[in-house]
Every structure is written in structure tokens, then in C-alpha cells.
Amino acid sequence: MQSFLDVNAMRAWLDARATALTERDTVPLLAALGRVLAADVVATLDVPPHDNSAMDGYAVRVAELGQPLPVSQRIPAGTVPRALADGSVARIFTGAPLPPGADAVVMQEVCTVGDDGRVSVDAEVTLGQNIRRAGSDIAAGNVVAPAGKRLTPADLGLLASIGIAEVDVIRPLRVAVFFTGDELAEPGEPLADGKIYNSNRYWLTPLLLQLGCEVTDLGTVPDNFGATREALTDAADFADIILTCGGVSVGEEDHVKAAVEAVGTLDLWKIAIKPGKPFAFGRVGAADFIGLPGNPVSGYVTFHVFVRRYLEQRQGLAEVREPSVIRLKAAFEWTRADARREEYLRVKRVVENGETVLARFANQNSGVLSSCAWADGLVRLAPGQTVAPGDWVDYLPFE
Amino acid sequence: MQSFLDVNAMRAWLDARATALTERDTVPLLAALGRVLAADVVATLDVPPHDNSAMDGYAVRVAELGQPLPVSQRIPAGTVPRALADGSVARIFTGAPLPPGADAVVMQEVCTVGDDGRVSVDAEVTLGQNIRRAGSDIAAGNVVAPAGKRLTPADLGLLASIGIAEVDVIRPLRVAVFFTGDELAEPGEPLADGKIYNSNRYWLTPLLLQLGCEVTDLGTVPDNFGATREALTDAADFADIILTCGGVSVGEEDHVKAAVEAVGTLDLWKIAIKPGKPFAFGRVGAADFIGLPGNPVSGYVTFHVFVRRYLEQRQGLAEVREPSVIRLKAAFEWTRADARREEYLRVKRVVENGETVLARFANQNSGVLSSCAWADGLVRLAPGQTVAPGDWVDYLPFE
């Protein structure tokens, strides 16, 4: 079946099929970078655990100030203070627990220490000044990181601060990739007449790895029905998703379509998108099958417009990236609007007169990835939309 | 020495000391993701190597059209065609080389194949139509990827398309990290009275790994001069950069400062930045020493404002990230301007009425990383700058 779909309809169709994984791994904190949290993490303690000092200085009783006072104890961070003796101050350092009885901390810069060791305060002091209260950062019972969040360095730091040493994360999405086409040569091999180098393998696998997928590369499969069918059934044994580039248009040289239909189901579309157009989604056993266009630029753009979002939903991500469109000003002109298709231009942020604007790669028609390598994102144009310099446009960063 | 510096002056001071590594590794293409190219990569062949078809259809001689013509050959991608026989067309597929003598490709959708197998073209055909010319994407001799570029998935795809199987990249930057403070407990351990969990280790290492650094974690060093000194000299034996959090302010409990000064040199600053302030840069042997503030939020912000840029320059990156400030509208208010310091608010992009705007984390004073974990970037405010909803502000994305 060959259908025609606009971009939003295709996205909605995929959204309806994107079932999040639920199986979990328990991993040490530092191994959880980029993984997706399987459950809310709830704080079991207050941070800070005690009232403590926000400054290097002196812990005082405000009512006793106005006269030089002796230093009755010294409280470095990590120690346990005694109650503040009457008529005295305590030397205290940033992060150190406040001694019981103290009601403010005076920063050392406004204190004078006399020859007798007594401390005078040369500033007005208010109750509670420079005290960080127990539980003021995190109160026990707070959710500090929600289920479905991809863990960042800051998340790991935050979880460490409440003593979390390991976390439950969704298991990695297993993606099998393979490539077909007797015209494909591998980089490093001499290029026989009529052949081209396989470039799809070299952008697709890294993109999947960057998203935290577990990638199995089944290599280049000979361009025939039997070998393609075998690759598909092999992959369906272990993979959540089988991804390939090319072989799924209506051309009669395409064995992938026939092979997927023989061992599973397949829907094929022409999407109203440029570059792009052919897109296939099917099932082989329990695995999804996704067929990207064989043209590297079309495949790369299609991946960013549809596949990344789909993978993130399957990974269990609560917030997928689609909303992170940024409105920026174009520093370019685009007059060759496509009347019927959404168009995705390869663009890059540049600074002009102190303002961030978008530059466009000159040759938007190239069959190779020069435009994608140069760019840091895409501009999405509605069908028929032209652009004049200074126009606001929708920018979708690659990262 | 204790100096006071504004943010730009500090950045210029660091820029002047950021010597790029020059040692190289030769690595296979797929291992080069995120590495920095050591030299320009120049194409040694044309892409496409031959004139080829941009469509599935028929290769024709335009002057012969206007009558049904027989199909004299069939040219799948990856094969070598014969010259186009007089008075015929050739069945051709996307990416297949054009047969000598053909001067256009007609897409199959506008062709009719008669019962006799002859092909009629039901559309106007122009010379050169649907032909991708040899060298039109990349001409031999072109620089396809410049020295100093951090390699993305698209770069790897592009390099593959010209047959590159391995690349020369700058060797990884070696960073040693250690942490001091007898008050530090590790996550998973029970929290003794007066202790806090070490969170700095858990955001710093992942950030360094994300930047492609080779990280050696020397752990938590006992809070005394001898142990600190030993950690420093050990690290200087192998590391390009020694990084730590805390221990470099003027407080008398800070052994790190004394230890660095004993085995190397150290400059300390109070930077006019909020959060942040204390920052240290020195040398131990051939290694740089960088001391971040011990407060996790201050350290995290200082890392993004100064250290990331410095590391990227040392990695040999030609374009460091600083210019990637984006101007966005604030959806928040900020009235508590700091009169003397640049301030970095933790913010997040949100979509409001179809427009991307910035929301602010409510509690910008927290000592823990909640704000950084919630945020996806920083808003930079000049000293004294307040913000009303709808104001344009400088946004620095974390990624």
C-alpha cells in the first residue's frame, strides 16, 4: 500500500505506535548518564541536613553583639558543633553546621579580631543572616527527578547530593541496522566503476549511539530477496527496531519491501516533505521496521523529523524533542518554495551585529551530506513558504 | 594573589593560555565521533563519480523523443551501462550511472509502456533533466571537513561518501579530577552527622566525558596538605589539566591553595559573576590546574561560562561554543539585579502560544543542583540588568 501523507499526519501515526519500553536496569549513578529514569526519584533526606553556614565567618547570637566577644569553638565543615557558649562567637566555615544557639553568621570580611583574640562585628547583623536552613534546597519527600527524564550531568549531581548511588533506568533500546545495495562500497576499499561509498552507515550508527541506543550493525546485505529476508528475521530475534536506508520505494529493484512483506507487515508512504518522501514502517515479529530513504540527505532529515522522536518515545522519554523548535531570524533568502511539501533547509546559527541569526547552506540540492555536516539544524518551511532576510523562521537544532 | 576580574577579562586571560594540543591519533571513522580533526580532509575523487540518474525512470536522448521507443538496456544502480543505442531508451534507477549518449532522464511517472514494450513520454523533457552531474556534490580537491572541527554523525557520513576509512584527530585531552573535604560522603554511604554527599564528582566527570575528555578520577583526597600535594604531583605526571571543586578560596581550611603553590604556581580570582566568584588557575609541572568553586551550582555555572570554552580550545577546536548565544524572549520577571556582577539564571525553553520563550527556575539561590537539572541553559544578565516578561535576553544552551 502506498499512501500520501503530510508531515503532521505521519508524526501522529507514528506517535500512536510508539510504545515506551518498561523493562528496567539498575545501574550505578555514573553509568546512568543519558539513560531514561524508570521511576520518580524521591528524596529521603533534607538538603542541607542541618542549618549551616553560607559563609566563612563567625556564628553569633545577634542579641549579644555590640561588644568584642571571645571565640569559644571552631567549626570546620564536616564536624559536629557544641552549643554556642553564652557570650561568645564560633569560628565557622562555609557549609559547616550551625552550632545550637547561634542565630546568624557574620562574614569574616566585616569582623575584626583584636590582640586578645576577641571578635568585633563592624556591620549590622540580622537574625538568620547567612544561614542556609535544613531542607531549604530539598525537603525529604520531594521528587528530585521525574520518571521519563533523560539523565544529564546536573541530574547525576543532584541525585548524588541526596545520597543516591544507583538508579532504575529503562533498558537501552536495541536497534539493528543493515544496508542493501550492490552498488555500495565500504570506505577504504577502491571504488569500482558504477559503485558508490556507503555513507548511510556512518551517520546512522553514530546518531543512534548519541541517543543512547544499543546498536547492532548487520552490515551490507546482498541485494536479493533471500539475503534481505534472512537479515530481517535474524534482527527481529533480538532488536526492538530494525532500521535501514533505501530499498523501500516503489522501484522494482527494491527487495527490502518484498522481504519485509514476506515475513511481516509494511506500510509505505510518500510524505509531503522535502528532502525526503519515501518512508516505510512495518513489523517483523515483535520488532518495528523503519525504512528511511536511501539518499543520505533525505535519510538524515527524515531521521531528525520522524525517527528521533519515535525512538525517544520508545525509550520512555516523557518529553520528546519536537517542542524544542526555536524561532530565529533568517539571514538568507529562499524564493524557490515548494508548493505542496514541507521543506527542511539545512542552516547554521551565526552571529551578525551581536544577534544570532540563521545562515543557509548554499546548495540545498546536494545528494551528499555537505549541507548536513555544515549545518547545526534545520529550518522548517510550510508548503509555499518563502523567506526574506530578517523573517522569523522555525529552527530545529540537531542537538 | 587575589585579583578581582569581570567575566570578559577572565575569559580573555584564559584564552591567552589555551594552547591547543597538536598530538594526533589515527582512528577508524566510526571511532572518530566527537573527536577533533587534526587536519583538513580533502576529497580525492568526484562525488558523484559519474553523471547519474536522480530518478527511477528512463534515460533518453531528448532529440529522439516524440515517438514510442524500445528499451535497449536496463541499468540498476551499481552497474556499468553501455552507450545508449540509437532510437532507444534505457530503463534506469536512482543513482545508476547515465549511459553515454543519453542527455536526460524522464521520471517513470510520466512514461507509458505500450503492449509492445515501447516507451512513450507524456511530458516536456529538457536537456540534462534529472541528471546529477559528476562532481556536482563534491569536486576532487575540495576540503570536505576542516581541521579543528568536532566530528558529528553528518561529518562521518560525508567522509564515508568520499571513501575515507580513517582520520587524523587530536588526541583526547587528559583531565584528572579530585575532590577534597573531610565533610564529603559518597552516595550510598550513610550520612554521618555534619557530612554532606559529594555531588561535584557526579556532574563534573559526565560533563568532561560528554566533551570527549579522557577522565581520571583520583577520588576524594583527605583534607590535609600532604595528601593534596601528592594528588597534585601524581596527576601532573599524566594529565593535561587537573580539575577540582572547592578548596581554593581564601578560607584557612583550604589546603588545595597551599599545596598548588608549593608544587607549582597559582592565581586566584574573585570573578564578578553570580553564582560563582572564586576561581583558580595555575600550573603543576606541565599540567594546568583549574579550581572551581566548591558550591555545586557555582561550580556548574563556572564550568559552562569559563571551563568548557577553555577545554575546547585546548582540544584544538577551531570554533569554540561561546558565540552560540541565542536571543530569546523571557517569560519571567527578574527584579533583584546584582549591581556589580554578571548573573547567570538557570532557565528552560518552553513553548507559549506557539513561540519559544524562556522560563526561569523559581529558586535561583539554591545550593543544590535542582536549578541546573531542571534548566537547559543559562540567561546571562549584565550587572544591574532586570528582566520583564517579553524582554529579549541572551540564552546560552547547555548543549
Mean pLDDT of B394-399: 90
Last residue of a domain, one of B314, B338, B368: B314
**pLDDT at residue B370 is higher than 70:** yes
Asked whether residue A192 is domain-assigned, the answer is yes
Bigger pLDDT: A105 or B196?
A: A105
Ranking A357-366, B110-119, B283-292 by mean pLDDT, the lowest is A357-366
Name the residue among B77, B132, B145 with its Cβ closest to that of A373.
B145
Nearest C-alpha neighbor of A107 from the set A118, A96, A123, A95? A123
Same-domain status, B81 and B36: no
Mean pLDDT of B78-87: 92
Distance between B173 CA and the closest CA of chain A, angstroms: 19
Same-domain status, B192 and B309: yes
Same-domain status, B79 and B193: no
Per residue, what are the HEC states of chain A?
CEEEECHHHHHHHHHCCCCCCCCEEEEEHHHHCCCEECCCEECCCCECCCCEECCCEEEECHHHCCCCECEEEEECCCCCCCCCCCCCEEEECCCCECCCCCCEEEEHHHEEECCCCCEEECCCCCCCCCEECCCCCECCCCEEECCCCECCHHHHHHHHHCCCCEEEEECCCEEEEEEECCCEECCCCCCCCCCEECCHHHHHHHHHHHCCCEEEEEEEECCCHHHHHHHHHHHHCCCCEEEEECCCCCCCCCHHHHHHHHHEEEEEEEECEECCCEEEEEEECCEEEEEECCCHHHHHHHHHHHHHHHHHHHCCCCCCCCCCCEEEEECCCECCCCCCCEEEEEEEEEEECCEEEEEECCCCCCCCCHHHHHCCEEEEECCCCCECCCCEEEEEECC
Distance between A326 CA and the closest CA of chain B, angstroms: 6
Average pLDDT taken over every residue of chain A: 91
Last residue of a domain, one of B144, B170, B196: B170
Q: Which of B2, B40, B79, B203 best tests the A interface by mutation, with the highest count of A CBs <10 A?
A: B203
The pLDDT, as a whole number, for residue B246 is 83
Asked whether residue B253 is domain-assigned, the answer is yes
Residue of A nearest to B365 (CA): A137
Same-domain status, B288 and B160: no
Is B191 in contact with A163 (Cβ distance < 8 A)?
yes
Model pLDDT for residues B136-165, shown as the tens digit of each residue: 888 999 999 999 999 999 999 999 999 999
| Percentage of chain A lying above the pLDDT 90 cut | 73
Model pLDDT for residues B258-273, shown as the tens digit of each residue: 999 999 999 988 899 9
Mean pLDDT of A84-108: 94
Distance between B231 CA and the closest CA of chain A, angstroms: 21
**pLDDT at residue B81 is higher than 60:** yes
Residue of B nearest to A96 (CA): B194
Bigger pLDDT: A118 or B324?
A: A118
> Are residues A51 and A98 in contact, defined by beta-carbon separation less than 8 angstroms?
yes
Same-domain status, B289 and B224: yes
Neighbours of B384 (CB within 10 A): 11
The pLDDT, as a whole number, for residue A1 is 45
Q: Residue A362: exposed, middle, or buried by beta-carbon count in 10 A (0-12, 13-18, 19+)?
A: exposed
The pLDDT, as a whole number, for residue B294 is 87
DSSP character at residue B366? -
Predicted ipTM of the assembly: 0.89
Count of A-B CB contacts under 8 Å: 290
Same-domain status, A118 and A223: no
Is B155 in contact with A373 (Cβ distance < 8 A)?
yes
Mean pLDDT of B68-85: 92
How confident is residue B188, by pLDDT bands cut at 50, 70 and 90? very high
**pLDDT at residue B252 is higher than 60:** no
The pLDDT, as a whole number, for residue A94 is 84
Residues 6+ apart with CB under 8 A from B143: B40, B41, B42, B43
Asked whether residue A374 is domain-assigned, the answer is yes
Distance between A13 CA and the closest CA of chain B, angstroms: 22
Residues of chain A with Cβ-Cβ distance to B369 below 8 Å are 154-155, 157-158, 161
Same-domain status, B105 and B144: no
The residue whose grid cell reads 565567618 is A57
Residues of chain A with Cβ-Cβ distance to B96 below 8 Å are 183, 194
What pairs with residue B174 in β-bridges?
Answer: B214
The pLDDT, as a whole number, for residue B250 is 57
**pLDDT at residue A238 is higher than 50:** yes
Asked whether residue B320 is domain-assigned, the answer is no
**pLDDT at residue A321 is higher than 60:** no
Asked whether residue A320 is domain-assigned, the answer is no
Model pLDDT for residues A2-59, shown as the tens digit of each residue: 557 899 999 999 999 999 999 999 999 999 999 999 999 999 988 888 899 988 899 9
> In total, how many domains does chain B have?
4
The pLDDT, as a whole number, for residue A259 is 93
Q: What is the CATH number of the domain that holds A353?
A: 2.40.340.10
**pLDDT at residue B286 is higher than 80:** yes
Mean pLDDT of B283-308: 94
Name the residue among B97, B294, B370 with its Cβ closest to that of A158.
B370
**pLDDT at residue A72 is higher than 60:** yes
The pLDDT, as a whole number, for residue A353 is 81
Nearest C-alpha neighbor of B307 from the set B201, B180, B213? B213
Q: Say how far apart CA A147 and CA A169 lie, in whole Å.
A: 9
**pLDDT at residue B320 is higher than 80:** no
Distance between A213 CA and the closest CA of chain B, angstroms: 14
Is A161 in contact with B324 (Cβ distance < 8 A)?
no
Same-domain status, B340 and B209: no
Q: What is the CATH number of the domain that holds A126?
A: 2.170.190.11
The pLDDT, as a whole number, for residue B1 is 46
The pLDDT, as a whole number, for residue B130 is 93
Is B399 in contact with A398 (Cβ distance < 8 A)?
no
Asked whether residue B319 is domain-assigned, the answer is no
Mean pLDDT of A142-169: 96
Is A368 in contact with B251 (Cβ distance < 8 A)?
no
**pLDDT at residue B105 is higher than 60:** yes
The pLDDT, as a whole number, for residue B334 is 96
Q: Which of B35, B109, B196, B361 best tests the A interface by mutation, with the highest count of A CBs <10 A?
A: B196
Which residues form the domain of B246?
2-22+171-314
Asked whether residue B57 is domain-assigned, the answer is yes
Distance between B57 CA and the closest CA of chain A, angstroms: 9
Is A186 in contact with B165 (Cβ distance < 8 A)?
yes
The pLDDT, as a whole number, for residue A25 is 97
Same-domain status, B84 and B11: no
Same-domain status, B206 and B192: yes
Q: What is the CATH number of the domain that holds A258?
A: 3.40.980.10
Residues of chain A with Cβ-Cβ distance to B80 below 8 Å are 193-194
Same-domain status, A241 and A288: yes
Average pLDDT taken over every residue of chain B: 91
Backbone angles phi, psi at B227, to 5 degrees: -65, -40
Same-domain status, B140 and B119: no
Residues of chain A with Cβ-Cβ distance to B163 below 8 Å are 185, 187-189, 191, 197
Report residue B295 as a C-alpha cell: 558550591
**pLDDT at residue A251 is higher than 60:** no
**pLDDT at residue A295 is higher than 90:** no
Residue of B nearest to A246 (CA): B94
The residue whose grid cell reads 570536505 is B144
Mean pLDDT of B190-201: 88
Last residue of a domain, one of B150, B170, B190: B170
Mean pLDDT of A160-179: 96
Asked whether residue B37 is domain-assigned, the answer is yes
Distance between A11 CA and the closest CA of chain B, angstroms: 18
